Amino acid sequence: MTALLKAAAGALCAAALAPAAVAAPSECDRDCLVETAQDFLDAVAAHDASLLDWNAYARWTLNGIELPFSEAVWALENGVSDSYQYIVPDAETGEVGIVTTWTFDGTPALMAARLKVEWGRPSEAELIVNTQARDAETDYAALANPLLGASTAIPEASRLSRDDLAGFADSYFDGLEAQAFGPVATSCARIVNGAPMESCGLFEPEHTDTVSPRRFAAVDPSRGLVFAIVRYNDDGVREGGAPNSTLAATVLRITNSEITRIETVAEGVHYMAPTGWDGD
């Protein structure tokens, strides 16, 4: 990818990355965000939201639907497994991304979660959950060792800026829309809902015609990670199917100016269904 293209992509992402004009201070550094993520997982396992010290205006969504803190995840028997789990903290935005295996209401499941911390307390929780009951081909309980290498630090001299990292992710999604290869390494590996895909160059999910909205919620230059929440949309025209959308957290690892790993937790939703967080 040329420097010019990277710069353009970075500029395109600037708006998506820019903090809101009146954003509350996070007051939570990298270690604090990781600790908050772990506290959140403990609260999920105990199905007790009150174990976290939420802001008074906190809200949460499950697969795009806002629910009370007494429903769903907070009311059903869960268990969190760390056999397949990683955390993407972003101290600059106060957001942290989580991907983990767990059992949801007794069913093996994958969860991607985004938390936002303000005033040192969580104020937003966005969960995308795919259960094994919906995706019977993958044994979530047996998943282990995520591909991302999320804990492997990138040498400081090789690190890209937040904008550049988000630019790579944005270019990848642009490539899906254009049915063209994005800036992926030939050795790139990709996992969707725990299942290895043939390559990173195939379209995700297949038949996607737009990837919108896109949010680059947590970017970690020290690990080369971008935790993005997007909606893949298929209008049903290209492949002769029915209109449908997929709400997803897609995490990309970028090393040596190439995308080397892509992992997605995805849940099918109604075509163009609101995400609950994009003003829709």
Partner 1 sequence: MPLRLTLAACAALAAYAGAAHAQTQQPSDALAAECGRDCLEALVDDYLEALAANDPSRLTVTGDVRFTEQGVELPLGHGLWKTASGIGTYRHIFADPQMGQVGAYMSVRENGQPAMLELRMKREPGGAVSEIETLVIRNAGQVTRMEEGGFPLPLWTEPVPESERLTREQLVRAANSYFSALENQDGRGIYAFSDDCNRLENSNYTSNAQGTSFEGSLDDAPTYAELNIGALGCREQFETGYFAIDTELHGRRFPVVDIERGAVFAWVFFDHDGKSKEITLADGSKRPTGNALWTWQMGESFKIERGLITHIEAWMVEAQYHQSGGWDNFDRDHYGIVDAGGIGK
18 contributes a contact to partner 1 by CB under 8 A: no
C-alpha closest to that of 29 among 117, 115, 98, 112:
117
Helix axes 3-17, 162-178, angle to 10 degrees: 100
**Shortest Å distance, C-beta 63 to partner 1:** 5
Q: Residue from 107, 210, 212, 255 that binds partner 1 (CB under 8 A)?
A: 107
279 contributes a contact to partner 1 by CB under 8 A: no
**Shortest Å distance, C-beta 266 to partner 1:** 13
C-alpha closest to that of 43 among 107, 113, 93, 90:
113
Nearer to partner 1, 18 or 133 (CB): 133
Q: Which stretch binds partner 1 (CB under 8 A): 138-146, 195-203, 210-218, 240-248?
A: 240-248
In the chain the first and final C-alpha atoms are separated, in Å, by 34
242 contributes a contact to partner 1 by CB under 8 A: yes
Q: At 37, which helix (H) or strand (E)? A: helix 30-45
CB-based burial, 204-236: b 16+ in 10 Å, e otherwise: bbebbbbbebbbbbbbbbebbbbbbbbbbbbbe
Q: Residue from 67, 141, 147, 189 that binds partner 1 (CB under 8 A)?
A: 67
C-alpha closest to that of 169 among 63, 70, 260, 56:
260
- Angle (nearest 5°) at CA 154 between 127 and 174: 55
**Shortest Å distance, C-beta 238 to partner 1:** 10
Burial class (CB in 10 A: 0-12, 13-18, 19+), 69: middle
133 contributes a contact to partner 1 by CB under 8 A: yes
235 contributes a contact to partner 1 by CB under 8 A: yes
108 contributes a contact to partner 1 by CB under 8 A: no
Q: Residue from 40, 41, 64, 223 that binds partner 1 (CB under 8 A)?
A: 64
271 contributes a contact to partner 1 by CB under 8 A: yes
Q: Which stretch binds partner 1 (CB under 8 A): 19-27, 61-69, 110-118, 180-188?
A: 61-69
Using CB under 8 A, list all residues that contact partner 1.
62-65, 67, 71-72, 75-76, 105, 107, 133, 235-237, 240-243, 269-274
